[in-house]
Amino acid sequence: MLDIKFIRENVEVVKKSLRDRGMKVDIDKLLVLDEEKKKLLLQVEEQRRQRNLISEEVGKLKQASAPDADKKIAEIRVASQEFKELENNIKEIVREQEELAILIPNIPHQSVPVGDGSEDNVEVRSWGEPPRFDFAPRSHYEIAKSLKIIDFERVAKISGSGFALYYGLGAKLERALINFMLDLHTTKHNYIEVSPPFIVKRGCLTGTGQLPLLEDDMYICEKDDLFLIPTAEVPLTNIHVGEVLSDSELPLYYCAYTPCFRREAGSYGKETKGLIRIHQFDKIELVKFVKPETSEDELELLLKDAEEVLQLLGLHYRVVRLCTAELSFAASRCYDIEVWAAGEGRYLEVSSCSSFSDFQAMRAGIRYRPEGGGKLKYVHTLNGSGVALARMVVAFLETYQQADGSVTIPEPLRTYMGGADKILEG
């Protein structure tokens, strides 16, 4: 959340940020409300001073048994009622102000290109080469059906469309990839593994910035006002909600495996076939709490940690810097990692590595005490997928497919697959 003082002092910066993102929030109304609140607060102070003076007079009159005491008591009652009305007016203004302020997204970092859509994202680098075949490559949908490792038809009887049912070596492949990534991030990249709940409170999603704008994309347990998580970023970031961390605790690195749940309202066409856009998918998430002065370097390290997953598995990918219109609500800057899917003939996003500056920390109340004391500061939060399934499974199957219908398993994953070097046709 942006501090109201920052908004007052940087009105044009905030308005430009909204234009660049293609969003609308009435900043002028917000500032008018802020001025009204300040005026009312001054009136409250004056009312409080007057009430205290009258109270003192009443006390003296009572001690002297003066006949004017009742008149002054009546004045106090009137002043108290006016005081309550002023307080109620302030509460209403604060409510309106908060309703507007919570809709203002983070300010894009100066390195973020201004753009209207994905065509304005900027490629930063690529790794590896697209696989070449001496046969017509098949889609992951065809491969999975042929190998009998993922069922997209029977699952509809269980949960409806937009879900996947993994069988046999398909289920084992999913589990192998999860364990491979967790081991890499915890043993080599020094993240602390966390197993969080998959259901969170409304306030957690507000803190990380998914609410209120993305509520239509959420699965909600309405009776309890709880939400299935769209990403492990939400429970991991909220581990320290409302806390003051010590300087020596930072940086903090967390990683978690969770399923993720997204309604994907409005999805249609080719995007809904197979694993490319489904309502429940597995993901390894990486979250960092860092000091502001190390934030930029930490984002680059986070990106490298996510990239290494694809490098070890030999999957061709590219890194793109997102433009203003593509940034998430809370992000100040973001890199997407897009893996090449040979059967689809296109890149698929498998990770977004974002810096949120102090935006989430302000919403969630996460601060730290600098070494040597001084004023408390907000931490910077970062997160990225390290990486997301099922799109990586799409790229994996389509990259390692063979002419005989089998799928080769790359060396780093074979131990996790019980030593198998191929997934054979069923």
Catalytic machinery residues: 262, 277, 349, 352, 391
What is the 8-class DSSP label of residue 401?
B
Q: Judging by beta carbons within 10 Å of its beta carbon (0-12, 13-18, 19+), is residue 313 exposed, middle or buried?
A: buried
| Six token digits for residue 131 | 């696989």
Q: Is residue 285 a known part of a binding site?
A: yes
Please check if 232 is assigned to a binding site: yes
Separation of alpha carbons 136 and 139, rounded Å:
10
C-alpha–C-alpha distance, residues 110 and 20, integer Å: 12
Q: Is 233 annotated as a binding residue?
A: yes
Residue 351, marked binder: yes
Q: Distance between CA atoms of 306 and 290, rounded to whole angstroms?
A: 18
Start-end of H helices in 188-314: 202-208, 233-237, 295-312
271 is known to lie in a ligand binding site = no
CA end-to-end span of the chain: 53
262 annotated as belonging to a binding site for a ligand? yes
20: which residues sit within 8 A by CB, 6+ positions away? 108, 114, 324, 325
295 labeled part of a ligand binding site: no
387 is in an annotated binding site: no
**Does the annotation list 383 as a binding residue?**
yes
Q: Where are the beta strands (DSSP E) in 297-424?
A: 317-321, 333-341, 346-355, 367-369, 377-378, 380-388, 407-408, 422-423
- 349 in a known ligand binding site: yes
- 385 labelled as ligand-binding? yes
Residue numbers belonging to the annotated binding site for L-serine: 231-233, 262, 285, 383, 385
Residue numbers belonging to the annotated binding site: 231-233, 262-264, 285, 349-352, 383, 385
Residue numbers belonging to the annotated binding site for ATP: 262-264, 349-352
